[in-house]
Amino acid sequence: MDVKKIYLTKEGLEELKNEHNELVNVKRPDVLERVSQARNLGDLSENAEYVAAREELSFIDGRIDELEELLKQASLISEDKKNLSHMVELGSKVTVNVKGKNESFMVVGEWEADPMDKKISHESPLGKALLGKKVGEKVEVEAPAGKVDYTIVSVK
């Protein structure tokens, strides 16, 4: 089986580690306590608190498994190397001109992508189009409203 790398910035990796730690050391023990208390209330077939606690525990365990898999496959995007080639790559902060306006964002791995926070995935149509391009180059991206032209203004 081919293991897919999960690309993360240092901050993204820290967020996943913190979420994992919170689930394992705080939330899961709390829910286990709720399951135990609900079990002591008697008839489990009509015990809504027991059912809710078991469902929450199942969700938490699933997320813990998912996070552990992500952390195993995580590959850190190097932020300390200077982008001497000025090419767009994972971790690049890119400014593009689109329809006369400049927009800046960071190219990140898909797990960290958050358009509201100006972080786009390298797997997105725009991310794919920009990778390997340099300042001054133009890329065309197919959008729901038609083709959109972007000109790369700067890469950091």
Question: Quick one: which H or E segment has residue 118?
Answer: none
The tens digit of pLDDT for each residue in 52-84 reads: 999 999 999 999 999 999 898 888 887 655 555
Domain ranges of the chain: 6-76, 93-155
Model pTM?
0.70
Cα–Cα distances (Å) from 19 to 15, 31, 63, 147, in that order, read: 6, 16, 9, 39
**Predicted pLDDT at 31:** 95
Architecture of domain 6-76: Orthogonal Bundle (1.10)
Fold for 93-155, please state it: Chitinase A; domain 3 (3.10.50)
Residues forming beta bridges with residue 96, ordered by sequence position: 103, 152
Instruction: State the CB neighbour count (10 A cutoff) for residue 148.
Output: 15
